[in-house]
């Protein structure tokens, strides 16, 4: 089955977000829809600070290296220290997370109650480093437990950070490009994080300031006007809904069912409540069982033309057991498998598209990131009920720029891929043409010029033998914090 694009939406670092937005917001970056409501689960805090506590949503982002296909870590503790040396330990249980799917985008992680205070530093501890990469010499996929060079890091803030009930936040980037070293068959992981205070504006524009898009999870509980979304890390996010919520693939909240696999866009309020602007479900063939799992990650090899099976590195396993380790599965396509472009794809296609955006078994290729809905995985094998194109990030050096002629047109960047990057190795391509329009989220606010190193997150196609990315997000180079410096 083949589906062509029709317009509609948009998408998520470890970010520690304190009291966010003070009112319901209508956001034009994530969705053409209005805003609705959502609230994160609360994590208990151990502290010797006696001041009142305020809810502080915690989100997560990443800046990977180009050779890394997937990398994961278990976050064991986050401890804030104030100017008097008193501490607040805000993570009550370890959280495993996969980092590369967060490249240039952000997701909520959990919400602790943090004592109101002025903090001078934060200490993180971690374990279970897993790295998956493509060996540029053998062109083979390598999965390994990296050797951890350290298990903790303390970041001293360049200026003390005050946590109170105002609209401020902390953003923590896991800088994978600076953390993972590959030498021959030896992989060493020296986790490097950046933590910075970020102001939350009244109208958030991207994941660093309160707008978070494309959060994938399973519906594990239903309330009167809320549902619980459990993500691939096993964290439960309690999402409220109201009349502004837009539903895609669903007739409304009453059609939302337990075990449904959904994608949600949220805005965070000062109370710690997430406002859900959009709830979308991945379509499945008529009469097919409800997907038990959703597998998100890059295709690393294909069989057949059209493709009858492919190998996928699973960065996110929604509905499966949460783990810090990534897996590699063989996915079978049969006559009932559907292919689709997700509803949010339409957000990047305002105006005339620069190419015919087609996604099918005939166009699927190694290098694309996809979301597979399946009734289950057995011995690392599954049959796809549906396969949806998912956003991914490419990075490199800008070789040329053709600026859009008007507001409805696209700016075209020729991006030279890093030699030895996993995408260049899998596809044999050296460049990607990146198209951006007025809907793109700019994380760093800079206009890129020839010679700039940049990252773009969006939907990747092979257009007559050339790689083309329709971008949704643009950000600075890998290894560079999304915002601020310690």
Select from 3.40.640.10, 3.40.50.2300, 1.10.3720.10, 2.40.50.140 the CATH code of 214-281.
2.40.50.140
Helix count and strand count (H, E) for the chain: 2, 39
DSSP code string of 392-450: EEEEEEEEEEE--SSTTS-EEEEEEEPTT-HHHHHH--SEEEEEE-TT-EESS-PPP-T
CA dist 179 and 359 (Å) reads 35
User: Strand locations in 175-243, DSSP E?
Assistant: 180-183, 186-189, 193-199, 211-222, 226-230, 236-240
SS (H, E, C) 300-319: EEEECCCCCEEEEEECEEEC
Indicate the burial class of 312 (C-beta count within 10 angstroms; 0-12, 13-18, 19 or more).
Answer: buried
CA dist 391 and 458 (Å) reads 5
Give the phi and the psi of residue 76 in degrees, each rounded to 5: -100, -35
- Closest Cα to residue 173, out of 435, 485, 432? 485
CA dist 479 and 161 (Å) reads 23
Q: Tell me which architecture the domain covering 392-475 has in CATH.
A: Beta Barrel (2.40)
> Is 214-281's fold the same as 392-475's?
yes
pLDDT at 148: 96
DSSP code string of 324-358: SS-EEEEEE--TT-EEE--GGGGGG--SS-SS--E
- Closest Cα to residue 27, out of 39, 19, 36, 35? 35
pTM: 0.88
**∠ CA(33), CA(359), CA(108), 5° rounding?**
45
Q: Walk along the chain (486 residues) and give the pLDDT tens digit of each residue.
A: 333 333 333 333 344 433 333 333 333 455 434 333 334 445 678 999 999 988 777 778 887 778 899 999 999 999 999 999 999 999 999 989 899 999 888 888 777 888 999 999 999 999 999 999 998 788 889 999 999 999 999 999 888 988 887 666 777 789 998 999 998 889 999 999 988 777 666 666 666 666 778 889 999 999 998 989 998 888 888 888 888 888 988 899 999 999 889 999 877 766 667 778 889 987 666 667 778 899 999 999 999 999 999 999 999 999 876 555 688 999 999 999 999 988 778 766 655 678 888 999 999 999 999 999 999 899 999 999 999 999 999 999 999 999 887 777 889 999 999 988 999 999 999 999 999 887 788 876 567 889 999 999 999 999 999 999 999 888 888 777 776 654
474 token code pair: 């643009």
- Residue spans of the domains in the chain: they are 3-19+41-199, 214-281, 293-389, 392-475
């Amino acid at each position: 089955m083949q589906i062509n694009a029709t317009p509609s939406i948009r998408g998520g670092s470890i970010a520690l977000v304190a009291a966010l937005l003070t009112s319901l917001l209508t956001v034009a970056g994530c969705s053409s829809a209005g805003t609705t409501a959502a609230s994160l689960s609360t994590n208990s805090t151990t502290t010797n600070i006696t001041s009142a506590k305020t809810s502080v949503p915690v989100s997560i982002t990443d800046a990977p290296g180009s050779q890394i296909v997937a990398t994961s870590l278990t976050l064991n503790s986050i401890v804030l220290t104030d100017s008097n040396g008193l501490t607040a330990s805000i993570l009550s249980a370890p959280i495993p997370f996969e980092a590369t799917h967060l490249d240039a985008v952000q997701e909520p992680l959990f919400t602790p109650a943090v004592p109101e205070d002025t903090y001078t530093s934060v200490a993180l501890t971690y374990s279970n480093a897993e790295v998956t990469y493509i060996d540029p010499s053998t062109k083979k996929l390598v999965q390994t437990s990296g050797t951890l060079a350290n298990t903790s890091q303390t970041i001293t803030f360049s200026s003390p950070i005050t946590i109170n009930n105002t609209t401020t936040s902390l953003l923590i980037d896991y800088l994978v490009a600076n953390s993972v070293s590959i030498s021959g068959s030896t992989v060493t992981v020296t986790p490097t994080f950046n933590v910075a205070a970020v102001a939350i504006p009244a109208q958030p524009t991207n994941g660093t300031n309160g707008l978070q898009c494309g959060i994938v999870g399973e519906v594990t509980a239903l309330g009167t006007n809320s549902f619980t979304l459990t993500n691939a890390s096993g964290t439960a996010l309690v999402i409220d809904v109201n009349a502004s919520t837009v539903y895609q693939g669903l007739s409304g909240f009453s059609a939302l069912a337990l075990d449904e696999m959904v994608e949600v866009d949220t805005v965070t309020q000062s109370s710690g409540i997430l406002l859900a602007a959009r709830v979308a479900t991945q379509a499945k063939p008529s009469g097919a069982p409800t997907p038990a799992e959703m597998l998100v990650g890059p295709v690393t090899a294909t069989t057949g033309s059209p493709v009858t099976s492919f190998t996928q590195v699973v960065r996110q396993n929604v509905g499966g057991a949460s783990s810090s380790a990534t897996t590699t599965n063989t996915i079978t396509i049969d006559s009932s498998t559907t292919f689709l472009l997700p509803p949010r794809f339409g957000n990047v296609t305002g105006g005339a598209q620069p190419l015919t955006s087609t996604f099918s078994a005939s166009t699927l290729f190694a290098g694309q990131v996809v979301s597979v809905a399946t009734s289950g995985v057995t011995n690392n094998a599954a049959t796809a009920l549906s396969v949806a194109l998912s956003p991914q990030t490419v990075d490199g050096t800008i070789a040329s720029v053709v600026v859009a002629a008007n507001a409805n047109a696209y700016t075209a960047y020729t991006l030279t891929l890093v030699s030895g990057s996993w995408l260049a190795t899998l596809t044999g391509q050296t460049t990607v043409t990146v198209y951006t329009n007025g809907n793109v989220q700019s994380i760093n606010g800079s206009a890129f010029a020839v010679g700039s190193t940049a990252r773009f997150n969006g939907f990747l196609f092979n257009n007559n033998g050339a790689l083309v990315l329709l971008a949704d997000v643009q950000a600075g180079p890998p290894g560079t914090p999304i915002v601020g410096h310690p």
